[in-house]
Amino acid sequence: MKPGIHPDYHKVVFVDASTGFKFLSGSTKTSNQTIQWEDGNEYPLISVEVSSDSHPFYTGRQKFADKGGRVDRFKQKYNLK
């Protein structure tokens, strides 16, 4: 690799803002906030909105919108067949 053109790659802790799930990974992002990890070292802390712990694709809690058309909903609403 050419020196001086690549960003600094280091370990950081990502925390899911909605679930509080934390994981240690490598990244070029930095942060002013730090956290002490399970190994006793301090790492930069980066908050993310969605991770594998909260995304419906990975959790299996995905909602499928299979409501049918307007006529079907009308018939269901007024209990018509």
Burial 23-33 (b: 16+ CB within 10 A, else e): eeeebeeeeee
pLDDT in tens, 27-45: 999 999 999 999 999 999 9
Asked if residue 34 is part of any domain, the answer here is yes
Q: Which domain holds residue 42?
A: 1-62
Neighbour count for residue 1 (Cβ, 10 Å)? 5
Please, are residues 26 and 46 in contact by the beta-carbon 8 Å criterion? no
Asked if residue 67 is part of any domain, the answer here is no
Domain count, the chain: 1
Asked if residue 15 is part of any domain, the answer here is yes
11-30: average pLDDT: 92
Query: In the beta sheet, which residues pair with residue 38?
Result: none
User: Residue 9 — very low, low, confident or very high, per pLDDT cuts 50/70/90?
Assistant: very high
Q: Specify the amino acid at residue 81.
A: K
